[in-house]
Amino acid sequence: MERYAPTAKDLASRDVVSRAMTMEIREGRGVGKNKDHIFLHLDHLPPELLAERLPGISETAAIFAGVDVTKEPIPVLPTVHYNMGGIATNHVGEVVVPNVDGLPQPGKLYPDKIVPGLCLRVGARCQPSGCQLTAGSGRVWPCLRAAHC
């Protein structure tokens, strides 16, 4: 991790670690038959510490990779940390499901705070009549960047 996070090193945030893993694999430094993953070494940690602090990781590695983390590295690859759901959109932010726009009804959940962010984002369909946010519901919101339409 020194190459990717010289100050934080092994304490780098998850996004930095995932990006570093991806770059290592893409640049041909992966391991395994297809060089498509990397190894996470925990064998330097005392077995008692692993049992106490990381029992889930030890169990998961044993079940899915057949690895004893006290003696062998775990094959890993970067993945999603959080999936916050959402609604499918196309490349310009239009919802692809008919009659759905993913925004609350007017007056609910402070839409005046949500919509400006959507209208200001690059790719929103900003037109003189308003910000056309979706192909689904066809709802039009006031455009807050009229000078850029």
Sequential DSSP letters for 8-52: TGGG--HHHHHHHHHHHHHTT--BTTTT-BEEE--TTS-HHHHHH
In sequence order, which residues have a C-beta less than 8 Å from that of residue 68 and are 6 or more positions away? 61, 62
The catalytic residues are 14
Mean pLDDT by 10 residues, the chain (149 residues): 93 90 95 95 94 92 94 90 66 67 50 46 50 51 49
CATH architecture observed for domain 9-76:
Alpha-Beta Complex (3.90)
Q: Where in the chain is the domain with CATH 3.90.700.10?
A: 9-76
pTM of the predicted protein model:
0.54
At 111 the pLDDT is: 44
